[in-house]
């Protein structure tokens, strides 16, 4: 198989996965007992009212028709209206998604280079002081619940020192400085939730390469240390590292949901949690689809990049 | 290799002599925590929901060693009951996911071929779903109860266990000693039970620890979001959520349960790390 | 130890190793010496061979000469002088200079030791280019010259490829080019031909020999194979468990070994027997025990990747049939097919004239019992979590319906029969040595009371002396129990000693078969001749002749 064929295959698989995910999201939210009509009416449901609502929402149509309508609407950007207050979901999503993207992007920009640097530093001298410090700290960090670091940060920086706000609500009048002030704590909290895993996995990926016979050969050839790491080890570690990074950016999803809730940050994650609490099905569906698509696309990109990074695939026999 | 034969007593003695002080500490802590969970009603100084004072977030004092919570209940007692519920849920979840995941994973590996490739494909598809999203969707539809939580998280965990168990079994199935049993004419059941399982036990034990930690963190996160354990019952995650205001009062009430979760998870992870290093067993690449 | 080398007082040695100790620290921090008090010299232009079995410390010593130890090991005593400098006292940057230019290394597995992410040229020319010793163009020109000296095809362009695009034998030679590009004073070759097929091996060995001779480079040649080393080495250092056993000129070690261990090594060397005995004529007239008739088989869902073509093979009761071939010849596939691990696309396997079903699950237990399979690697063929008692008693209970109590008794007898203490029954396989495990592996096959044992390369992973003991055991058992063996191997020397009949396989076909004396006696099939030609002889001029002969045979085979 040529490189392009492999890549095509991976992309088709990605699209297939997206379809599977959409089916699951739809089924999970629509056919499980809590009927949408019930959810809207709550306690005051009479059979006539239920029937009316079902008719209006198209709930009496066969399942596959409803799925198709829902999917095409989703793809064309028509997310429907909130069951709770009838507001258009599209406008709310756009506002909140951009907030979440800013939060996630800031985290990724800080966490990824930091994690790779720390992972490399640990792997270069396994068993050394730096390695032991990094491995044991990261072992502790992966055991922390997502909210722990954030709670501690808030206690220190917002309550004790009063340097930063504990709540990250956003006003339209905010300028860059205000944005930075409110973002610092959530970004720090989020960074810690994904950093530790990324460091540990980068370390083991690099270590795996560094203990290979090819590296031993390079040492025995007298290749200077710097070149050994950059020219010999890094290209071989690149594929695994890309995978590590993608895998851990996927952790951002659960991290974002927890951190946004904790800081009252008006993003997609908190929007979804509130919707689940209120059983606001259209919002849950939309948010779930957005998060899941992000996850699937991220994994696909990582696979494609690491396929390209592998010389064995790039240069066929 | 030392002469003589290996017995389980001998192995245990050897394992104990390999314990480092750090690992011993973690192990003792875990045992203590499990005892506390098991005997919570006898250990806790006050009842779980007993309101003792009108004052929220009292600092630690001689009556209430960790102070009072937002309703004036004893934080220490609630912490003890919270540990009980957290551990109880996590244990059931992990056992369920293990029984299902290991069973199906071994089955897939033993039969191979089309059965295996279909099971793996479905499992991969499920793995392409972020765990939290799956949980949120189910909770949205069914509401949150112990049963829903246990089965949802166990299901999510099962997909991970399946992958690990299958990969382990596939690696063992290609060993010549399995082929020797195949060519002898042994049935699948004998091969799984006598050839595969004994060689998968240590890595599976490590995986159990990892999944147990994961279950604790996952329930805590859901409870923290208000979508896990529902008050008046409370696990450690709920305690963190309901006492968040304490931060504004400058009290540390919310940190106790949060650190409780972290300490249990750290101890478990340290133990698992030691187990893996000692046996130099490797888990297949997995988060 | 006995130093029989005549020290040449005239010239200073190029490399002087004195009292080298290397230790390894186990998990609990205890130290173990794995190399103990090694001293030897390498004169300029001379090749010294380090010979020993696995665990003898030969690789550790050769790496120590470069001032390098594997993780976990460290040099605890001794000195290594290259010219005037003590390699062990150099700073890291100085050591890097030494390693790149003065002492270079050719690793055992070139496939693993080349970096998959760089072209071959980039790796071969790396050191002279980054140290500024040559310009890139000069280095590339020199590399091409070396490729051509090493008789590599398309020397101008082969270096532009990536390692995975080149065959194993070529990679091994490319690695030698990498080692020679800086004109080193000392070249270390660590089992450079062990990973290769026998017929490729002599070609590569010949290139190395020519390279060393033409450049007048001194070399340390590390190997476990005494027969090969006679072709390249001037001095031989025999090692056992990290200690020197014997050290002397090649002629003396070969013709007049002093130490018992060296004698044992010599006796077990892979040489052709002086004379091949004709099998007793009677056996051929009995009714055949097992017949493979006109079998074609392959891999893939529809067996479309053909591994065996038109195979006919007969095994009589009480005889040993040797099946010889290189990797990919289909010899192991044939063994798996007979034992029912894979089915045939065409043709069939007959036991006592009755056709057997294709797969294990369709055969009766009694049919399965009669044909047993012994695997190559005893360390993975025995479940590490089962005691020997369980490993041995299971076939007895499974095939013969013995109770556990009876089986336990018989397992003890069986252990005794294969030369192991009876109390081993309560041990686990990892507590045994490699040779002991291979005995258990055989005992497990015997536990079924079979008539035929398919032995798949059962001696090739063992050190030569231990392998010889296993072969002796096989013969004893055959005499006592009237067993038949199908002996699958790549080693024509071994098979010629123990077989009555042999079959030579190439590309999935049997190219020659019959009584051992007829098949191996000239004139024989070109491929058989090629295999015979690849078995080393102790004459020092053998290699050059063999290479010439080899090229003729390969050309004839290619035209056929």
pLDDT tens column, A54-72 = 776 666 777 788 888 888 8
| The pLDDT value given to residue A197 | 86
- Give the residue from chain A lying closest to B121, CA to CA: A17
Pairing outcome for strands C218-223 and C47-51: parallel
How many angstroms away from the CA of C424 is the closest CA of chain B?
8
Which parts of chain C register pLDDT below 50? 1-10
Which parts of chain A register pLDDT below 70? 1, 31-45, 56-59, 315-317
Contact B224 A151 (CB under 8 A): no
C-alpha–C-alpha distance, residues B191 and C398, integer Å: 13
Give the domain ranges of chain C.
288-521
3-state helix, strand, coil in chain B (%, to 5): 70, 0, 25
Closest by CA to B255, choosing from B10, B13, B60, is B60
C-alpha–C-alpha distance, residues A261 and A255, integer Å: 10
Is A212 an interface residue toward C (CB < 8 Å)?
yes
| The pLDDT value given to residue B178 | 93
Contact B130 A299 (CB under 8 A): no
Chains A & C: contacts with CB separation below 8 Å:
78
| The pLDDT value given to residue A317 | 53
Phi, psi of B210 (to 5 degrees): -65, -45
| The pLDDT value given to residue C11 | 67
Is the C-alpha dihedral spanning C137, C140, C144, C146 positive or negative? positive
C-alpha–C-alpha distance, residues C157 and C162, integer Å: 11
**Tokens at residue C256, please?**
């007049």
Chains that touch C (3 or more CB pairs under 8 A): A, B
pLDDT tens column, B93-128 = 999 999 999 999 999 998 888 888 899 888 888 888
* Among C62, C70, C106, C115, the residue to mutate for chain A (most A Cβ within 10 A): C115
Q: Contacts of residue C114 in chain A, CB cutoff 8 Å?
A: 214, 217
* Among B23, B121, B133, B217, the residue to mutate for chain A (most A Cβ within 10 A): B133
C-alpha–C-alpha distance, residues C67 and C99, integer Å: 9
Please, which residues have CB within 8 angstroms of residue A261's CB and are 6 or more apart in sequence?
A: A269, A270, A273, B224, B225
Q: Contacts of residue A311 in chain C, CB cutoff 8 Å?
A: 116-117, 162, 164
C-alpha–C-alpha distance, residues C244 and C241, integer Å: 8
Q: Contacts of residue A213 in chain C, CB cutoff 8 Å?
A: 107, 109, 112-113
C-alpha–C-alpha distance, residues B203 and B285, integer Å: 12
Q: Residue B280: which pLDDT band, with cuts at 50, 70 and 90?
A: low
User: DSSP alpha helices (H): ranges in C43-167?
Assistant: 58-64, 92-97, 110-113, 120-124, 126-130, 136-149
Instruction: Considering only the beta carbons, identify the residue of A220, A221, A312 that sits closest to C164.
Output: A312
**Tokens at residue B126, please?**
């499920």
Give the B-side interface with C, CB within 8 Å: 1-6, 175-177, 179-180, 182-186, 194-195, 198-199
Residue B47 CB coordination number (10 Å): 14
Q: Evaluate whether B271 touches B26 at the Cβ level (below 8 Å).
A: yes
User: What are the CA-CA distances from residue B92 to residues B132, B206, B211, B216, C159 (Å)?
Assistant: 19, 17, 11, 11, 60
| The pLDDT value given to residue B54 | 79
Element at A28 (helix H, strand E): helix A3-30
Q: Residue B4: which pLDDT band, with cuts at 50, 70 and 90?
A: very low
Phi, psi of C219 (to 5 degrees): -145, 150
C-alpha–C-alpha distance, residues A267 and C370, integer Å: 72
DSSP C278: P
pLDDT tens column, B207-250 = 898 899 999 999 999 998 888 888 878 888 888 888 888 877 77
Q: Give me the half-sphere count of Cα atoms (radius 13 Å) on the Cβ side of residue C243.
A: 6
Phi, psi of A231 (to 5 degrees): -95, -35
Contact A211 C71 (CB under 8 A): yes
**What domains sit in chain B, N to C, each tagged with a CATH number?**
47-280 (1.10.3720.10)
Which homologous superfamily does the CATH classification assign to the domain defined by C288-521?
P-loop containing nucleotide triphosphate hydrolases (3.40.50.300)
Q: How many residues does chain B have?
A: 287
Is the C-alpha dihedral spanning A267, A268, A272, A273 positive or negative? negative
Closest by CA to B102, choosing from B152, B162, B189, is B162
| The pLDDT value given to residue C412 | 93
Give the C-side interface with B, CB within 8 Å: 339-341, 360-361, 363, 365, 368, 373, 375-377, 380-387, 394-395, 398-399, 426-428, 430-432, 444, 448
Q: Evaluate whether C487 touches C498 at the Cβ level (below 8 Å).
A: yes
Mark residue C432 as left, alpha or beta (left: phi above 0; alpha: psi -120 to 50; beta: remaining): beta
**Tokens at residue A42, please?**
């709550």
Q: Contacts of residue C71 in chain A, CB cutoff 8 Å?
A: 211
Phi, psi of A100 (to 5 degrees): -65, -40
Q: Evaluate whether C238 touches C244 at the Cβ level (below 8 Å).
A: yes
Contact A224 C96 (CB under 8 A): yes
- Give the residue from chain A lying closest to B226, CA to CA: A277
Query: For chain B, what is the mean pLDDT?
Result: 85
Does residue B283 surpass a pLDDT of 60? no
Q: Contacts of residue B195 in chain C, CB cutoff 8 Å?
A: 383
Residue the block writes with tokens 């369920």: B96
C-alpha–C-alpha distance, residues A110 and A187, integer Å: 9
Phi, psi of C191 (to 5 degrees): 45, 55
pLDDT tens column, A96-105 = 888 899 899 9
pLDDT tens column, C386-439 = 999 999 999 999 999 999 999 999 999 999 999 999 989 988 888 888 889 999
Is A128 an interface residue toward C (CB < 8 Å)?
no
Is the C-alpha dihedral spanning B139, B143, B144, B148 positive or negative? negative
* Residue A289 burial (C-beta neighbours within 10 Å; 0-12, 13-18, 19+): buried
Secondary structure class of C379 (helix, strand, coil): helix
Contact C341 B182 (CB under 8 A): yes
Instruction: Considering only the beta carbons, identify the residue of C96, C115, C165 that sits closest to A315.
Output: C165
Instruction: Considering only the beta carbons, identify the residue of C339, C377, C384 that sits closest to B199.
Output: C384
How many angstroms away from the CA of C154 is the closest CA of chain B?
40
């Amino acid at each position: 198989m040529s490189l392009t064929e492999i890549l095509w295959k991976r992309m088709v698989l990605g699209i297939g996965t997206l379809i599977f995910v959409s089916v699951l999201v739809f089924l999970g939210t629509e056919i499980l007992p809590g009927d949408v009509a019930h959810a809207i009416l709550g306690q005051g449901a009479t059979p006539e009212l239920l029937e009316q609502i079902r008719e209006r929402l198209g709930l009496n149509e066969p399942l596959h028709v409803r799925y198709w309508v829902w999917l095409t609407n989703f793809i064309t950007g028509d997310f429907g209206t909130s069951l709770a207050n009838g507001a258009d979901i599209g406008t709310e999503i756009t506002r909140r998604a951009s907030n979440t993207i800013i939060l996630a992007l800031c985290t990724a920009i800080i966490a990824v280079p930091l994690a790779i640097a720390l992972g490399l530093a640990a792997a270069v001298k396994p068993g050394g002081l730096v390695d032991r410090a990094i491995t044991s700290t990261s072992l502790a960090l992966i055991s922390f619940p997502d909210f722990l670091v954030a709670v501690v940060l808030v206690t220190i920086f917002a309550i004790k020192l009063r340097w930063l706000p504990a709540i990250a609500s956003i006003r339209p009048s905010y300028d860059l400085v205000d944005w930075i002030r409110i973002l610092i704590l959530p970004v720090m909290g989020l960074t810690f939730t994904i950093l530790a895993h990324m460091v540990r996995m980068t370390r083991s990926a690099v270590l795996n390469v560094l203990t290979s016979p090819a590296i031993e050969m390079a040492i025995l050839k007298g290749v200077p240390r710097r070149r050994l790491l950059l020219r010999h080890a890094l290209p071989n570690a690149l594929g695994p590292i890309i995978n590590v990074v993608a895998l851990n950016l996927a952790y951002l999803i659960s991290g974002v949901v927890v951190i946004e809730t904790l800081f009252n940050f008006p993003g997609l994650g908190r929007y979804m949690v509130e919707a689940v609490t209120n059983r606001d099905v259209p919002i849950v569906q939309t948010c779930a689809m957005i998060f899941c698509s992000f996850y699937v696309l991220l994994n696909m990109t990582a696979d494609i990049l690491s396929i390209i990074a592998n010389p064995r695939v790039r240069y066929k026999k | 290799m030392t002469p003589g034969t290996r017995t389980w007593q001998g192995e245990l003695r050897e394992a104990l002599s390999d314990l480092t002080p750090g690992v011993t500490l973690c192990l003792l802590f875990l045992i203590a925590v499990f005892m506390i969970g098991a005997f919570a009603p006898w250990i806790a100084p006050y009842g779980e929901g007993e309101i003792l004072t009108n004052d929220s977030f009292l600092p630690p004092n001689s009556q209430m060693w960790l102070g009072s919570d937002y309703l004036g209940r004893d934080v220490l007692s609630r912490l003890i009951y919270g540990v009980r519920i957290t551990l109880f849920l996590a244990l059931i979840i992990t056992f369920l996911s293990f029984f299902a995941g290991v069973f199906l994973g071994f089955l897939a590996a033993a039969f191979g071929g089309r059965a295996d490739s279909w099971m793996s494909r479905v499992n991969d598809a499920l793995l392409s779903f972020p765990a939290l999203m799956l949980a949120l969707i189910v909770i949205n539809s069914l509401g949150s109860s112990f049963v829903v939580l246990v089965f949802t998280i166990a299901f999510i965990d099962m997909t991970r266990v399946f992958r690990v168990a299958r990969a382990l079994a596939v690696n063992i199935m290609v060993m010549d000693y399995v082929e020797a049993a195949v060519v002898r004419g042994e049935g699948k059941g004998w091969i799984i039970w006598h050839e595969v399982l004994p060689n998968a036990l240590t890595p599976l034990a490590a995986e159990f620890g990892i999944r147990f930690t994961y279950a604790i963190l996952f329930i805590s996160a859901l409870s923290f979001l208000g979508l896990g354990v529902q008050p008046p019952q409370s696990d450690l995650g709920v305690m963190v959520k309901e006492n968040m205001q304490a931060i504004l009062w400058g009290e540390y009430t919310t940190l106790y349960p949060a650190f409780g979760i972290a300490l249990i998870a750290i101890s478990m992870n340290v133990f698992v790390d030691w187990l893996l290093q000692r046996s130099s067993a490797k888990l297949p690449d997995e988060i | 130890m006995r130093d029989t080398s005549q020290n040449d007082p005239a010239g200073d040695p190029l490399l002087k190793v004195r009292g080298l100790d290397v230790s390894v620290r186990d998990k609990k921090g205890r130290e173990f010496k794995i190399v103990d008090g090694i001293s030897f010299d390498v004169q300029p232009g001379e090749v010294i061979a380090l010979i020993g079995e696995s665990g003898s410390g030969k690789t550790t010593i050769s790496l120590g000469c470069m001032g390098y130890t594997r993780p976990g090991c460290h040099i605890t005593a001794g000195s290594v002088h290259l010219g005037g400098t003590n390699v062990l006292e150099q700073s890291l940057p100085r050591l890097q200079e030494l390693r790149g230019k003065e002492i270079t290394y050719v690793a055992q597995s070139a496939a693993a030791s080349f970096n998959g992410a760089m072209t071959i040229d980039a790796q071969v020319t790396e050191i002279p280019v980054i140290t500024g010793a040559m310009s890139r163009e000069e280095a590339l020109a020199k590399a091409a010259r070396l490729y051509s000296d090493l008789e590599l095809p398309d020397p101008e362009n082969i270096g532009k490829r990536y390692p995975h695009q080149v065959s194993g034998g070529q990679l091994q030679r490319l690695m030698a080019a990498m080692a020679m590009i800086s004109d080193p004073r000392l070249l270390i070759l660590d089992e450079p031909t062990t990973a290769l097929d026998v017929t490729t091996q002599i070609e590569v060995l010949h290139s190395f020999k020519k390279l060393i001779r033409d450049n007048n480079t001194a070399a340390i040649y590390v190997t476990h194979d005494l027969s090969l080393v006679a072709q390249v080495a001037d001095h031989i250092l025999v090692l056992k468990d990290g200690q020197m056993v014997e050290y002397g000129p090649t002629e003396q070690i070969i013709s007049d070994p002093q130490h018992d261990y060296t004698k044992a090594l010599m006796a077990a060397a892979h040489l052709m027997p002086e004379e091949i005995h004709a099998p007793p004529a009677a056996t051929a007239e009995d009714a055949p025990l097992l017949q493979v008739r006109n079998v074609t088989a392959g891999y893939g869902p529809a067996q479309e990747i053909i591994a065996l073509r038109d195979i006919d093979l007969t095994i009589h009761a009480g005889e040993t049939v040797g099946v010889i071939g290189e990797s990919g010849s289909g010899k192991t596939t044939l063994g798996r097919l007979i034992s029912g691990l894979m089915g045939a696309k065409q043709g069939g396997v007959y036991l006592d004239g009755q056709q057997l079903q294709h797969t294990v699950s369709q055969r009766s237990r009694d049919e399965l019992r009669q044909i047993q399979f012994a695997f190559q690697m005893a360390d993975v063929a025995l479940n590490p979590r089962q005691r020997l008692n369980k490993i041995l008693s299971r076939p007895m209970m499974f095939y013969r319906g013995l109770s556990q109590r009876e089986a336990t008794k018989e397992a003890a007898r069986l252990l005794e029969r294969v030369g192991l203490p009876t109390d081993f029954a309560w041990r686990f396989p990892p507590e045994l040595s490699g040779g002991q495990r291979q005995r258990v592996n055989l005992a497990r096959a015997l536990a079924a009371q079979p008539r035929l044992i398919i032995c798949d390369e059962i001696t090739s992973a063992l050190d030569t002396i231990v392998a010889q003991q296993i072969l002796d055991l096989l013969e004893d058992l055959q005499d006592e129990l009237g067993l038949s063996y199908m002996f699958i191997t790549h080693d024509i020397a071994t098979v010629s000693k123990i077989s009555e009949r042999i079959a030579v396989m190439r590309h999935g076909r049997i190219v020659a078969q019959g009584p051992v004396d007829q098949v191996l006696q000239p004139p024989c099939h070109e491929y058989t001749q090629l295999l015979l030609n690849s078995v080393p002889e102790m004459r020092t001029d053998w290699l050059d002749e063999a290479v010439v002969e080899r090229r003729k045979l390969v050309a004839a085979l290619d035209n056929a």
